[in-house]
Structure 1
Amino acid sequence: MTQRYPEYFASEEELDDFMSTPDQGLIDDLASLDGDIMIVGVAGKMGPTVARMAKRAAPDRRVIGVARFSEPGLRDYLEAHGIETITADLLNREQVAALPRARNVIFMAGRKFGSNGSEELTWAMNSHVPALVAEHFAGSRIVAYSTICVYPFTPVAHGGSREEDPVSPPGEYAMSCIARERIFQHFSKTLDTPSLLLRLSYAIDMRYGVLHDLASKVLAGEEIDVTMGHVNVIWQGDACLQSLRSLCHTTVPAQPLNVSGPETVSIRWMAEEFAKRFGCEVKIVGQEAPTAWLANTSRAASLFGYPNVPLARLIDWQADWLKRGLGSLGKATHFEVRSGTY
């Protein structure tokens, strides 16, 4: 059966609705699991999509979102879509201990941007908070978000880092992400908690992401530095599907899983594709480095199949979104940074 996609998104509401639509694979997987679903750190860029998708896939199941909820309106938005909310500071041991013990946990809390100059807070969020959560949810199924930044740069020609490859990244942020993974692995082993470490690479939302950053620069006539010359990207809806379906693949001890699109995508090529759609010239500077942060996602493909939304469709959607001046989160991904400092 041919997959149907919208030609464009008329509004942010349409985007959010489509992005949070579950597929049959997720519906079947969640039906096979017992217990409620809790998203810890639901207030991030992907958390609301994961929460809505979980509720739509399992409407009779409790879906609970936990965060500080400092963004106005987010708590009301989630509750309007049937998601229960709990306000908690995850750095507070007593508040974590007061959370209900859900059978299924998606852990999305963490800190990246602003790490430079506040390294101690980054380490606390990325290693201390996981310890509190892992202890409290002993025995639950836990899918813990991580990042491909835990890997060192890999030669572009080698097809990306595999889950069994050693980790050795640049920068304190990525080192703190290794700490997060090790904490979850430790408590998975010692508390018999089935877990999975989801190493994500660049989820694409029309309001945020590598495509948004790149297309915005092309449209504004800014220079495109191609030194970090290649990336993997995935539609945010597909990343959320794979995150929730990963609850069926947790193990003791926790094992990593790379999640992104299957292509090693050229930044130069994507910039040129956006220039065609905008009817403008593209200004390329620099030369592609022989290495980049890349992930081999063959293991995820064997579990879930290939992502539903292809790259060419993402490029079309992103170009249309920006040409019509629709919303942006106003946060750069800094995908071009090779120092590991954010």
Structure 2
Amino acid sequence: MSLPHRFNDVSQLEDCLSSPSEALVNDLGRVPGDLMILGVGGKMGPTLARMAKRAAPNRHVIGVARFSEPGLRTQLEEQGVDCVSGDLLDPETLDRLPAAPNIIFMAGRKFGSTGSEWLTWAMNSHLPALVAQRFSESRLVVFSTACVYPFTQTHGAGTPESGALEPVGEYANSCVARERLFQYFSHQHQTPGRLLRLSYAIDMRYGVLHDVANKVLQHQAIDLAMGYANIIWQGDANERALRALAHCDTPTSPLNLSGPRVSIREAAIGLGERLGIEPRFTGTEADSALLIDCTQADRLFGPPQVGLDRLLDWTADWVRRGGASLDKPTHYEARDGKY
């Protein structure tokens, strides 16, 4: 797919985010059967579901969520996605779901965790146990997070999948529980799978660059304490997640999912140049950050299609024109694990 110079509206943006490559079509051809996405109603779920349907138009793609966002279910159904409404923590919802051979697990809770940790643990540890047992004979590709790792030195390559899990904060600890429970049941039932440790997908409506660009535009100081982050275009992240169905291990194994390390200072300067505004900064870069090594994913899928310069161009143009925002800050700058 040829990439646009800019996005005129949300419709064009979502079309690009859900455009499948030939490599995805080929990989999905290796994993026959229906595909079900649990937690399809989140930030990435709708475009991932649409990408799956476009890559395999003759296959049933099923999206499961509470569908609290008005119009989302209708939109997905118009795009060919079969929708099931329900609360995944309700055993009756899980019982009535079809036994699809391919599962993408996207359900989870991060923001708002502080103050209602009990719900975060239920979503991130209890639900995975239920799902792993209910779909023990399916391929299970599970969205996790790079927050399961400790901070690492900023001058290094980032933490590889073999790195120790030493998370900061309750949210991140609950995500380790999610992984361990999927691993346990994968060992018990020989369920093939992958645990995708995602770090900061980029959409024009949210993400690290969206957060930084808005601060530049509003002349707000940008905190440099978390001076670096891995980012990846959401279209690339969607594709890698779906292609992972053809690259599952038995028992399941982790896979870091992101793009190259980005300097927050340099990204802000680049956005400022495009916006005609000099960024303001506060603090200095710490010598550690939450960074991951994505060599293994690059070896499987090739490098991400969209690079930093294009993301900076798109983001600056979008925020300058007052493009839509999901109003969901990433809190990438948090060093205490509280979200």
Q: Aligned AA for 2:295?
A: S
| Partner SS for 1:135 | helix
Confirm whether residue 185 of structure 1 aligns to residue 215 of structure 2.
Answer: no
How far residue 122 of structure 1 moved from its aligned partner, in angstroms, is: 0.2
Distance in 2, matches of 1:29 and 1:235, equals 20
2:86 corresponds to which residue?
88
2:280 corresponds to which residue?
283
| Partner SS for 1:86 | strand
Q: Aligned AA for 2:258?
A: S
1:296 corresponds to which residue?
293
Structure 2 gaps of 5+ residues are: none
Query: Could you list the per-position Cα deviations for residues 174-231 of structure 1 after superposition, in whole angstroms to 9, with x for gaps in the alignment?
Result: 0000000001001111011101100000000000000000000001100011010000
RMSD: 0.7
Q: Aligned AA for 1:222?
A: Q
TM-score, normalised relative to structure 2: 0.99
Query: Could you list the per-position Cα deviations for residues 279-304 of structure 1 after superposition, in whole angstroms to 9, with x for gaps in the alignment?
Result: 11111110100000001000000000
Distance in 2, matches of 1:49 and 1:293, equals 26
Distance in 2, matches of 1:184 and 1:88, equals 22
Q: Aligned AA for 2:138?
A: S
How far residue 91 of structure 1 moved from its aligned partner, in angstroms, is: 0.7
Query: Could you list the per-position Cα deviations for residues 56-107 of structure 1 after superposition, in whole angstroms to 9, with x for gaps in the alignment?
Result: 0000000000001111100001000000000111111121111101000000
1:238 corresponds to which residue?
236
How far residue 264 of structure 1 moved from its aligned partner, in angstroms, is: 1.6
Query: Could you list the per-position Cα deviations for residues 239-287 of structure 1 after superposition, in whole angstroms to 9, with x for gaps in the alignment?
Result: 00000000011112110000101x2211000010111011111111101
| Partner SS for 2:84 | strand
Query: Could you list the per-position Cα deviations for residues 120-175 of structure 1 after superposition, in whole angstroms to 9, with x for gaps in the alignment?
Result: 00000000111111111011000000000000000011210000011001100000
Q: Aligned AA for 1:269?
A: E
Confirm whether residue 6 of structure 1 aligns to residue 4 of structure 2.
Answer: yes
1:229 corresponds to which residue?
227
| Partner SS for 1:157 | coil
2:203 corresponds to which residue?
205
Confirm whether residue 169 of structure 1 aligns to residue 167 of structure 2.
Answer: yes
1:326 corresponds to which residue?
323
Distance in 2, matches of 1:86 and 1:279, equals 47
Match of 2:338 among 328, 337, 341: 341
| Partner SS for 1:109 | coil
Q: Aligned AA for 1:90?
A: L
Q: Aligned AA for 1:329?
A: L
Distance in 2, matches of 1:57 and 1:224, equals 40
Distance in 2, matches of 1:98 and 1:129, equals 16
Q: Aligned AA for 2:264?
A: I
Match of 2:42 among 41, 44, 52: 44
How far residue 4 of structure 1 moved from its aligned partner, in angstroms, is: 2.8
| Partner SS for 1:158 | coil
Distance in 1, matches of 2:261 and 2:60, equals 38
Confirm whether residue 20 of structure 1 aligns to residue 18 of structure 2.
Answer: yes
Distance in 1, matches of 2:273 and 2:81, equals 41
Distance in 2, matches of 1:214 and 1:319, equals 10
Distance in 2, matches of 1:25 and 1:10, equals 27
Distance in 1, matches of 2:256 and 2:309, equals 22
| Partner SS for 2:15 | helix
* Range with greater deviation from structure 2 (226-235 or 3-12): 3-12
1:308 corresponds to which residue?
305
- Matched residue count: 339
Q: Aligned AA for 1:41?
A: G
| Partner SS for 1:125 | helix
Match of 2:139 among 133, 138, 141: 141
Distance in 1, matches of 2:99 and 2:190, equals 15
2:29 corresponds to which residue?
31
